[in-house]
Amino acid sequence: MASSEARTRQKKRQRTPNGGVRAALFLALFTCTLRCSECEKPSNIVLILADDQDVYLGGMTPMKKTKALIGDAGATFSNAFTATPLCCPSRSSILTGQYPHNHSVRNNSLDGNCSSPLWQKGPETTAFPVYLSKQHYQTFYAGKYLNQYGKKETGNVGYVPPGWDQWHALMGNSQYYNYTLSVNGKEEQHGDNYEKDYLTDLILNRSLHFLDDRSPQRPFFIMLSPPAPHSPWTAAPQYEKNFTDVKAPRDGSFDKPGKDKHWLLRQPSNPMPSTSLNFLDNAYRKRWQTLLSVDDMVEALVKKLEELKVLNNTYIFYTSDNGYHTGQFSLPIDKRQLYDFDIRIPLMVRGPGIKPQQTLPAPVLNIDLAPTFLDISGLNLSFVNMDGQSFLSQMAPELRNGTARPYFLVEYTGEGHLDPDPACPKLGPGLSQCFPDCVCEDAYNNTYACVRTLAEHNLQYCEFADTESFVEVYNLTSDPHQLENIVKKVDPTLLQAMNQRLIKLQSCEGDSCRATKI
């Protein structure tokens, strides 16, 4: 009997852990739970958005620190494009993940829907920061927003777009000094003191304060939008004498006549006069000078993230709203054209799961940024109405499965004035952005839509909404500088196929914009 009771007690001891064992098991379980929650914590995101920075004409050359700290540490996209080559509609595409024909921002004017009440009541309410806020991200914005932001007709400085916790936005277009900010809806005036007012540095400093003051328990999203390298090209004092011997590159389509191109490009004098050449060379140098402060910004921000021990869980994106030209097809300076120098943009990303030293050829658009941010945040993308697609799978295939788009749309609505421009009266009304040498960079009939493909052929097919119904077609494999319009040489079957793709893309929305076959 006694031996039977002893065996029963021994079995109970084998089945029931003692207090020490229970404590050890609890501690192991608690530690595992902590580790799992850390693994599941959404990553932080930083977006640095330059203004008018090209990649085609060497615009990334001054950015040595940025290329080392972001590009070399992650992925560089060799085929990144804007959906439209102009500030306000492009930035609206970045915010909404939509093509311009869906967010309805056509150009930089209030009439073109730039930061208008219609934009504020519609597309802006479903921009990506709204979704990130719902995902419990702490959101911070500093720098240029939309060109008409802060105007009386758009709500003055008191209007703060939804989704932003901290708001330090520039009123109007890019400036470096003597500007006004909306700081969480309150007006803040700035002068011309470098230490206090230089906008690129101010943007950086306020982002560093945000990082110090944030809650470590929640992820953050930071968007920094410096004015560089947009005009008026005001460099920081320490960089005013850099690149004194640099000139705009004279290769490719530089100072070539706009033969067989749409009406606007057939107007410039060729060869260009010395006044235009001197002007564009000066602009080219000054643009590079302003970018050195942006390069410093990237370095300081990465250093801060490293000090706070959050760098390894932070995605950092570097890009621009559009490209730029300086002398291509005898156009002195601007953007707004359909050619690669205006629609190609820099794009580099580093972050969790992205292997360093990658160059990725898959085409990516700026409408893909918003869905990529939301994908990183853990949001189910089927819940949002965006034309773009996440490219997280391109950067980190082990995190996501995905496919590259075979073709995409670029669209632009031209701006003009009802009266003739005093600088170019002989061309009549309907033009804008005119120079004294009677070169106008834009016009009402500079309205076009293009379909671009890199999968089957490196082709671009464009149609103009003008009196000529002009068409331009380029084979960028054999003609990378787009010197020859081959519309009269291309197989009519291919032209018809490109035309049908363009028609469908111009009316696409959401999933239909990402169709693999049209």
Confidence of residue 393 (pLDDT cuts 50, 70, 90): very high
Question: pLDDT at position 20, please?
Answer: 52
Beta pairing class for 75-77 and 459-464: unpaired
Distance of CA 403 to the CA centre of its chain: 21
Q: Catalytic site residue 32?
A: no
Percent of the chain clearing pLDDT 90 (strictly above): 85
Question: pLDDT at position 37, please?
Answer: 40
Per-residue CA distances from 216 to 142, 219, 302, 413 (Å):
20, 7, 17, 44
**pLDDT tens figures, 238-262:** 999 999 999 999 999 999 999 999 9
Distance of CA 305 to the CA centre of its chain: 22
Q: Which residues contact 508 (CB under 8 A, 6 or more apart)?
A: 99, 387, 409, 515
Most confident of the following: 3-17, 294-308, 422-436: 294-308
Confidence of residue 376 (pLDDT cuts 50, 70, 90): very high
What's the whole-number mean pLDDT along residues 412-431?
A: 90
pLDDT at 26 over 60: no
For residue 169, the surrounding DSSP H or E stretch is strand 166-170
User: Active site residue: 36, 87, 424, 513, which one?
Assistant: 87
Poorest-pLDDT segment among 104-108, 399-403, 482-486: 399-403
pLDDT at 21 over 50: no
With tokens 């331009």, the residue in question is 472
What's the whole-number mean pLDDT along residues 203-221?
A: 98
Question: pLDDT at position 17, please?
Answer: 44
Question: pLDDT at position 517, please?
Answer: 57
Distance CA 396, CA 354 (A): 5
What's the whole-number mean pLDDT along residues 156-184?
A: 97
Distance CA 102, CA 95 (A): 12
Q: Could you give the 3-state DSSP secondary structure of residue 2?
A: helix
Confidence of residue 4 (pLDDT cuts 50, 70, 90): very low
**pLDDT tens figures, 475-510:** 999 999 999 999 999 999 999 999 999 999 999 999
pLDDT at 216 over 80: yes
pLDDT at 210 over 50: yes
Question: pLDDT at position 515, please?
Answer: 72
Mean pLDDT of the chain: 92
Name the pTM for this structure: 0.92
pLDDT at 25 over 50: no
pLDDT at 27 over 50: no
What's the whole-number mean pLDDT along residues 360-365?
A: 95
Residues composing the chain:
518
Beta bridge partners of 315: 45
Question: pLDDT at position 491, please?
Answer: 95
Residue type, 327: G
Confidence of residue 8 (pLDDT cuts 50, 70, 90): very low
